[in-house]
A and B are shown apart, each in its own frame.
Chain A
Amino acid sequence: MTTSHENEKEKMETHVKPTSLASVAQAHNVKVPGTRALGTGLETRGVHAWFGKHHALADISLDFAAGTVTALIGPSGCGKSTYIRTINRMHEFIPGAAMAGEVLLDGKDVYAPGTDVTKIRLQIGMVFQKPNPFPSMTIGENVLSGLKLAQIKAENKDDLLEECLERAGLWSEVKDRLGAHGGSLSGGQQQRLCIARALAVRPQVLLMDEPCSALDPGSTLRIEETIRHLSDSMTIIIVTHNMQQAARVSDYTAFFLSDGGPGQMIEVAPTSEIFSRPQDPRTENYVTGRFG
């Protein structure tokens, strides 16, 4: 395993050309990324991932400009979720997991020795596929749980609570029952509660792993609105199986595919391009529903 890592690293250094989306953005007149306040964005260089001997993901280089929404699409098992879990270092929780490559947040590798992994996860928040509010906490406690977990002192908790719930589009529905149990909400509300919870620690990047796959269309719509609003203040990466969703919410779309071997990134472009003029025939087949 070690030798293969080193080989991959060498290969990476010589072959990788990170996709520069900023130039593409200008060419296609879509949202231009990057204000200073949001940081210089997130970039992965030659990321590989393994589960034991199984090579799950090969050589993913992507550049996520600050303040943009990027959708990752592709058939099941092509490594999309694995990829975003390498970004906030959740991948390493799986026994036997290994990785190669670099994940640069504001130019600093999150895997560099001496990095405080809990700080990384504060900067790169995550929303999971299944809504998972903490069962022992109330709605209010759930939103603020990140502060307690990371032992961050907040000056005005009530304001923060309202702000996060407001941004997640849940405030008007729960403002009168903040002391109720998180589990008493509907599935869609629970997922928005989880988004509010992720926002409370003020992340720079938000990873969303199929956040709407367990929800009804109404809740899905609310969450998509939320994503659009949030993209003004953070970088969002969303994994989705719903092509319309990718088209509705994202500025850029990356298509992942596994041909039996490790998952690869086939194509990345502004979303309108991917859906109207894909460069790769495999992308075209997928987005037009001819396979996968």
Chain B
Amino acid sequence: MSTGSSVIPTKPWKASNKQRAIDALVLLVALLASFTVVAVTPMKGKLAYFAVFFIAYALLTSIFKAQQRGSAAAKDALVNSLVAIGAIVTVIPVASILATVLKNGLPGISFGLFTHDMALATPTDPLNNGGLLHAITGTLLLVTVALILSVPIGILTALYLTEIKGKFTGPIRFLVQAMSGVPSIVAGLFILSAVLYPITKSYSGLMGSLSLTILMIPTIARTAEEVLNLIPNDLREAGTALGGTQWRTVAMIVLPAAKSGLVTAIILGVARIAGETAPILLLTGGGDRVNPNAFSGPMGSLPYYIWKSFNAGSPEAITRAWAGLLVLVGLVLILFTSARFLGSRKAAK
């Protein structure tokens, strides 16, 4: 202990330089192999490079390991490289989508976009005419109303499934699971035929929010159920043993303990609906003017704006659509990070 300065700290578990050189060599050979194979065979395109590279890399690392340390190490190396490939394959499309949206959307972004609506402009106008304020406010309103409706219903459903465990637990869990597979157009048509035509007889933001609520409830209920199931039963027993009724125990102990998980459930719910297009097309009427009233009048929204602009077809309209996409992605990102921030800050306190 006292002569600590004369002892050099080492990390014997880290790869040696020789091992690192071998790893780099394997990577290089795999790269070379992918280029040669793509050159001499009729396979073409980026996908071919990736495919050949991954196969060659997985094979080569396991062969090297087999020679160095036997078959168990080879299997380990093979599985390792497969897992890494899986992770990369997942990230590539997402990164590619984000890059494409950024590349095509940025030229259409300007300050005026966030201060004007399309009341006095058409999608084919020059880009400095009009903006998508109406679409941003519309999407925010649609999501907010859907949240107000679906969060209580979703969480109460989860509480029924985890805390009350009544007679209908089985059927309700089955229905919730089945509902999470409902195509969004079906939710839209349902509201159209059950509410819009017989009752309100006009497009409005509320109609859109109702259909989004149908889509959102199962996501929130299922995630919240899983989160609540993770809360140790000890806490429920402790609450009851202190003379709390079931409701007081749930409200004071179970829900606060599950708070950050419930925030995640709500985020996933928002993720499910923020870009939902089909029911919006059917139900909101897609106005071009900022409409602060969710209960009457046509309501614009980002997905609707994107769809309409792409349909208009002119280069200006296409740029508008990409800009709308970028704003939608950015909006969802902001919602996510702020919700995460809020959830984690409260949990840390």
Contact = CB atoms under 8 A, between A and B. Distances in A.
Interface in B217-271: 232, 234-235, 237-245, 248-249, 252-253, 256-257, 259
A146 B232 contact: no
Nearest to A120: B243
B243 A148 contact: no
Nearest to A151: B248
Contacts of A132: 232, 234-235, 237-238
A145 interface: yes
A136 B243 contact: no
A93 B259 CA distance: 25
Interface in A84-133: 88, 90, 93, 118-119, 121-122, 125-126, 128, 130, 132
B237 A149 contact: no
A128 B253 CA distance: 16
Given A119-B243, A149-B243, A136 B257 contact: yes
Nearest to A150: B243
Contacts of A197: 238, 242
Contacts of A90: 237, 240-241
A134 interface: yes
Contact of A128 (B234, B245, B256, B259): B234
A136 B262 CA distance: 14
Contact of A136 (B242, B244, B248, B259): B259
A148 B237 CA distance: 16
Nearest to A122: B243
**What size tier do the contact residues of chain B reach?**
10 to 19
A216 B20 CA distance: 47
B259 A125 contact: no
A191 B239 CA distance: 15
B242 A125 contact: yes
A145 B234 CA distance: 15
Nearest to B248: A149
A275 B145 CA distance: 69
A125 B241 contact: yes
A194 B245 CA distance: 19
A93 B240 contact: yes
A201 interface: yes
A146 B237 contact: no
A234 to B, nearest CB: 15
B234 A201 contact: no
Contacts of A118: 243-245
A194 B234 CA distance: 12
Contact of A145 (B232, B240, B252): B252
A149 B239 CA distance: 7
Contact of B241 (A119, A126, A148): A126
A154 to B, nearest CB: 14
B253 A134 contact: yes
Interface of B: 232, 234-235, 237-245, 248-249, 252-253, 256-257, 259
28 contacts: A88-B241, A90-B240, A93-B237, A93-B240, A118-B244, A118-B245, A121-B240, A121-B241, A125-B241, A125-B242, A126-B241, A134-B238, A134-B239, A134-B256, A135-B257, A145-B252, A145-B253, A149-B239, A149-B243, A149-B248, A149-B249, A149-B252, A150-B242, A150-B244, A151-B248, A194-B238, A197-B242, A201-B243
State the 8 A-B residue pairs at the shortest beta-carbon distance, nearest first.
Answer: A149-B244, A136-B256, A122-B243, A146-B242, A150-B243, A126-B241, A132-B234, A121-B243
